[in-house]
Amino acid sequence: MQTLPSTRLRAALTRLAPPVALTIALAAGLTGVVTGPAAVTAEAASTPVLSGAYRGSGVPDLVQQFGTWRGRPAGVVTDFVDGSSWEAMENASWVAGKYKGLNLPVALGVPMLPATGGTLQQGATGAFDGHFAALGRSLVANGAEDAILRVGWEMNGTWFRWSAVPDPAAYRNYWIKIVKAMRAVPGQAFRFEWAPQPGAGTKGFDKTLAYPGDAYVDVIGMSLYDQSWGVTSAQHVERWNGMVTMAGGLQWSVDFAAAHGKRNSLPEWGLSKRCDGRGGNDNPYFVAKVSEWVNTHDYLYESYFDKDMGSCEVHKLVTGPFTAAKAEYIKHFGPTHPVYPSPDASVVKVSTKADRSGAVALSGRTVTGKVYVFAQPTFATTKVRFYLDDLMGVRTPLQVEGQAPYDLRGGTATAATAWDVTALPAGPHTMTVVFETSTGTRSVAVAFRR
């Protein structure tokens, strides 16, 4: 049973009033009971894309300044675990501890190996489990028990020591060891993010060979910078279209995530001005398209990489040379950022009868025994995913339905399969429902009680 998400991930957690007994649609012999408040005060909880920035290592003041600059506080902060040595990797106090006062979800890049020493093959045997267990304990101790951990990122390239290209099996097996070691830490609620480089990364490499399996991944990520070696810096539309449609690009990422029941992320993205002319420079079109993309697909979070990699690779937005793009960023990610509507809470129904008759909105209700929960969208839908007590929808779905009627526990056109809620702990719960459509995803979360 999944536990309720931490308060930092309850971006729009619904409020529940004490229920007033109002038994509905009950007949003799039925084992399910649904009650609701006299005036339902539970509201639909949307699952907005968390928006933040990386501004350097352990700099909470700069993250707050970023929020002030754009007129909208950060919703997530990204950073990196120190990979200089095993000892440094075990100690999260310098990074997670510094952000503790912000009370924000923390997304951390986690090296699989330090700067020197160790191999993927050794890690695959469990030789380094202790280091990652220690990291997990340090994260919990420093208030980052629900951190999003981007382990061994960009593994399809060859620029990191944990490259999966020479031995993808060792990478997969080592990843599994890391996840098992960290999930065994008391008090943890970590999310593990698998984040390859866009495209092949290394010519001819199939990055799916490095995927460790659904049981060990919660989020599918991808870094994205406005740069290309295939078009000129002025070809903004062509460059964006290439990012979406290329093999292993953005469309591949959202399709892969959907096929595996995961949410997406852009853990680092940015504008780019380069001395070699490969960057898109001051490109507001790129900013607008990123906003549109993450808000019309199933993204957990996005984080702007507000740091230069040198004078010949410039990404800084706040103080950088991107005048038009800055204005576009504030338009899309600032105080009046576009709101993409979530479905009304009433699309998630509950009935006490297998034929779904007498159904009412699940939102704000109290359920007992065996009930029948289903989604009834008013818009064209290709697939529906149900998540229990997983507001952001990052765990394995409770159920995935590919055709109507979209029943929580499956069923036929005339009879749904019952959901026995007896095993649920008494008290508040959430049901997050993600609707996949031909133009992207829409989601809604409703609160109920058992």
Based on its alpha-carbon atoms, the radius of gyration of the chain, rounded to whole angstroms, reads 23
pLDDT tens for 7-22 read 444 432 322 222 222 2
All structural domains of the chain, each given as residue ranges with its CATH number in brackets, are: 7-46+342-449 (no CATH), 50-333 (3.20.20.80)
pLDDT band at 390 (very low <50, low <70, confident <90, very high): confident
Just list the catalytic residues.
154, 268
User: From edge to edge, which strands make up the β-sheet containing 383-388?
Assistant: 33-35, 366-368, 440-449, 428-437, 383-388, 399-401
Spatial contact of 182 and 149, defined as CB atoms under 8 Å apart: yes
- Backbone φ, ψ for residue 326 (5° rounding): -60, -50
Cα separation, 103 vs 1, in Å, equals 25
Containing 251, the helix (H) or strand (E) segment is helix 250-259
Structure tokens that stand for 219 in this block: 């989020």
Determine the average pLDDT of the residues in 225-241.
91
Spatial contact of 244 and 253, defined as CB atoms under 8 Å apart: no
Cα separation, 301 vs 284, in Å, equals 20
- pLDDT on residue 169: 98
Query: For the whole prediction, is pTM greater than 0.85?
Result: no
Containing 289, the helix (H) or strand (E) segment is helix 284-296
* CA distance readout (Å), 66 to 56, 61, 196, 327: 12, 9, 27, 14
- Ramachandran quadrant class, 96 (left: phi over 0; alpha: psi -120 to 50; beta: rest): alpha
Cα separation, 167 vs 170, in Å, equals 6
pLDDT tens for 239-279 read 999 999 999 999 999 999 999 999 999 999 999 999 999 99
